[in-house]
Structure 1
C-alpha cells in the first residue's frame, strides 16, 4: 500500500475516552493527533466525535473499543447512557468502515503490541508460547477477555465476565455477600471488583466496625478510599483495600483456571496502574493462588500488570490498521 490512509482508533470508558487519529502507509502507523475526553462532559458519543474530528482528513477506517456487549456493530454502553451505532457513525462522518468491539477485546488485541517494559511481573510462572491468555481489569466496571492463538493470528474473545456471580471464599467474604445482597439483590463480581466495588467494601467494613463511612461523602469515593488506605489514615479503608485486592486476585485465578492461561494473566485498567505497588504487595497473589488442590497449577501461570494505560487504544489501532490492509 503506497497511499496514505488515515484511521481513527478509540478507547471508550465510563470515565474517559481516548481518541487517536493516525496515518498508515506501507504497513507503518504514525500518530497524527490524540486527545483525552471526560465521558461525563458529553451527552453521546457522536457529539464527542464531532469535536475531535473538526478539520480532520478523510478517514478510511475507524475502530472503537466500547464498554459493553456489541451486537450487529451496535452497543448500548455499560455505565454510560450512550448508544453507539457503527453504521450511523460511518454514514454521519463518511468513514467507509467503522468497527465496534468490546473494550476488553481491544485490550486483548493490544497486549500483543506490548514490550516487556510495559508489564510488571507479579508471578513469572512458566509461560508457554501459543497458550491461552486471560485479560481482566477493574475500573468503572470489570472487564474480561480471552486471547487464543490460531493460524490467522490471535483470536480475541470478549465476555461479560464482570457480571458472573461473586463467589465468597471465607466467612468475611460470605458476610460481604450477605451485605451486598441486602443492597443489590443479585451480586455479580463487579459489585466487589471495581472502583464502585471498593466503595461497597468500605461501606461494608464501616457498618461491620460500627463507624461512620465518612469517605463515601467524597466526590470520588473509590479514589478517596484507596488514598486513605495507602496513606494509612483510615483503618476501615485499609481493611477494604486488602479485601478488594484478595477478591481481585481470586477472580483472576478463576479466569486462569477457566482458560488454562499458560500464556499469562494480564491485569489491565486504570485501577491496576494506580495501585501497582499494592498489587505487588502480595494480597492479590494470595487470592490468586488460594485454589486448594490447584495451587500448584496456578503457580505455573505468569501474572502481569499492564503498565501501558493506552493498551486498549493500541488494540483498536491494530484492528483499524487490519481493516485498511485487507
Structure 2
C-alpha cells in the first residue's frame, strides 16, 4: 500500500515554500527596483536622507506667475497648506529663555524657549554668564506679560501664509519647513540623459555591436560545436584541444597584435573592429559541443534517412533541442559585449559617428 499524503499538509508546505521564495525573490530584485525608481527622481530627492524608494516631488502652486512650493504646518491643531511670503523677506527672531532653561553647551538645544521677533525685544544692557558663556538679557512680552529673559540665539525666519486665508501666518526656516510632496515620475530624466553629449548615438552603437556580436558568437558556436561533436575528420580532437586552449590566453596579451591587425586591415575607428574579432569564441564552441554530444545519434541518423544535409540536420534537429545551451550562451555573450570597455577604448578614437 502506498501512503496517502495529507492534502492540508501538502498545501501548507507549498505555501511556506512559496512565501520563502517570494521573499528571497523580492530581496534579489529590490536593488534593481531602487535603481530604477532613483532614475525617475529629482536631484534633490536623490540625495535626500534617509532615502526613499518612490520618487517624490514638491507640490507647487502658481503665485503671481511663478511656481512656489507648498508647505504643511499645524496651526492651532489644524493642518494647513502654506506658502512663503516672498514679499516679507527674512525676519530676525530671538529665542529667549530663563537662565535655568539655557543650555550653555548647545544653546539651540535649550528647552522652553520663546520665539519672539527681535524688533519686539528690548535689551537691558546686562549680561549673564552661564557655563562660561555670556548671554544678553532682554525685556520681552510673553502672553501679555513683560518678562526679563536671556537671548539663547537668534535666527532669520521666513513668513509663511495659508493658501486659503492670508491672515493665518507662521514663521520658520524655509529649508527646514515640511514640504508637501507627491509621487511624480520624472520621465524627462531619460530625455535629458539621451541629449547629453550625443549619448543617444552611443547607446545605438553599443546596442548594435552587442546584438551583432551575440548573434555572431551563437552562430559560429553552433557550427563549430556541431563539427567537433558530429563530423569525423583527421585530427579533430587535437584541433579542438588547441582551440579550447586559447581560452587561457589573457586578453591583455592580444591587445597589441590585434590592434596592429585592425590598422593593417583599415578597421581602426570602425564598428567592424568591435564586431568581427569577437564573433568566434572557444568557450561557446565548447559549450555547444558538450551539449550536442548528449543528443542521441538516432535522431541524426533518422534525419539522414529523410534526406537532410548536415546543415539541415543542424538547423532542424539540433538547434530546436539546444534551447538551454543557446540561451545560456546568449546571456553570457550579451553581458560581455555590453560591458566591453577596454577594447573599444583602444580601437575607437573618433567618438560615436
Question: Same fold by TM-score, threshold 0.5 exceeded?
Answer: no
Q: What TM-score results when the alignment is normalised by the length of structure 1?
A: 0.21
Q: What TM-score results when the alignment is normalised by the length of structure 2?
A: 0.20
Higher relative contact order at CA 8 Å, sep ≥6: structure 1 or structure 2?
Answer: 1
Select the structure that is richer in helix: 2
